[in-house]
Amino acid sequence: MRLALMTVLLAATLVATPPVVAQPQTASYPAKPIKLLVGFAPGGAADYVARTVADSLGRALGQTIVIENRAGAGSSIAAEAASKAAPDGYTLLIASPSSISVNPALNPKLGYSAKDLTPITKVTSSPLVIAASVQSGITSVSDLIAKAKKAPGSLNYATSGNGSAPHLGAALFSRVAGVQMVHIPFKGGSPAIQSVIAGDTQLTFGTPPSVLPMVQAGRLKGLGVSTKERTSLFPDLPGMAEAGLPDYAIEFWYGFFVPANTPQPIVKKLFDATITAMQQPGVKAALAREGTEVAVSASPEAFASFLSEDAKFWIKLVKDAGVKAD
């Protein structure tokens, strides 16, 4: 009888006691270096922004930020790796509309979706730069359109990958201008730009950190920027209204993300540290030199709201432009 009673009491205790679940140590966070995943090869815009911000972000957090490039699949490889990492704040992702909105829309069978990532904040915003190889002889946007219309499919353009913001920017340009060009995707902005410099491809719709130095060095011919008006970031390049294509305009952003279910105190600490890092004069100056503006969110929740609306634009562009997965 006593044994039976003890068995019942033990069973009741086991039922009443909830299981102990390991929780990340938020109070001492961060206690070790933080990995920042970049979905493109070294030398491109995402890599440049990440490396520009890393030192200041590390100082704000009191830990080292380790950059890890995982190029390929239009940045989906890095995004999937981030989505499957432990939600403990030690894996950070720099991402653009490509990996958050475009790639999941292009390929529903991807191993992740936007809901698998928690937004921290937007960090930068910038237009695309349209540039041509010196060998092509193309000297302006109107010249580009004329050559493309004269020989449909004869011009090709290099981008940082299928479904990337430069790819979609070029697809939108083709639709608005009424031209046909061939897309040549690469695993990042740097190899794409090198192909244009070599004359293997004729054009690029590239990110400023990838394109602007080559334009300034005379290795590429800058044709214009993808904003309607001329911008102070590129005072020597016309906006689309001035270039003769006023119905074309597109800008893109980069932001920071962590795996879903990362504890809120860690998300808040990463947000605060990122805001501190992005406001440093050295960071602002370094980004401005490469044609990129600091553009931070008011809060992680504000960034999430922005993403919800922004996704509608990119997904509609994917459908309207007929962009397909690799």
Of residues 160, 161, 155, the one with CA closest to residue 135: 155
β-sheet bridge partners, residue 36: 67, 92
Predicted confidence (pLDDT) per residue in 130-143, tens digit: 999 999 999 999 99
Helix (H) or strand (E) holding 276: helix 264-278
pLDDT beneath 50: ranges in the chain: 1-22
Q: What is the pLDDT of residue 25?
A: 65
Q: Are strands 129-133 and 203-206 parallel, antiparallel or unpaired?
A: antiparallel
Q: What is the pLDDT of residue 6?
A: 44
Q: What is the pLDDT of residue 86?
A: 98
Of residues 197, 201, 142, 200, the one with CA closest to residue 173: 142
Predicted confidence (pLDDT) per residue in 229-274, tens digit: 988 888 899 999 999 999 999 988 999 999 999 999 999 999 999 9
Q: Are strands 91-95 and 117-127 parallel, antiparallel or unpaired?
A: unpaired
Q: What share of the chain is helix, strand, coil (3-state, %, to 5)?
A: 45, 20, 35
Of residues 51, 57, 16, 14, the one with CA closest to residue 278: 57
Q: Which two tokens stand for residue 206?
A: 């590239």
CATH number of 34-126+252-321, picked from 3.40.190.150, 3.30.830.10, 3.20.20.70, 3.90.220.20 = 3.40.190.150
Q: Do domains 34-126+252-321 and 127-243 have the same CATH topology?
A: yes
Q: What is the pLDDT of residue 204?
A: 96
**Cα 280 to chain center, whole Å?**
21
Residue type, 108: P
Phi first, then psi, for residue 184 (nearest 5°) are: -120, 100
Of residues 28, 224, 55, the one with CA closest to residue 144: 224
Q: Cα angle vertex 254, ends 249, 259, to 5°?
A: 140
CATH number of 127-243, picked from 3.40.50.300, 3.90.280.10, 3.40.190.10, 3.30.70.1450 = 3.40.190.10
Buried b or exposed e, range 180-192, using 16+ CB within 10 angstroms: ebebbbbbbbbbb
Ranges of each domain in the chain: 34-126+252-321, 127-243
Q: What is the pLDDT of residue 326?
A: 62
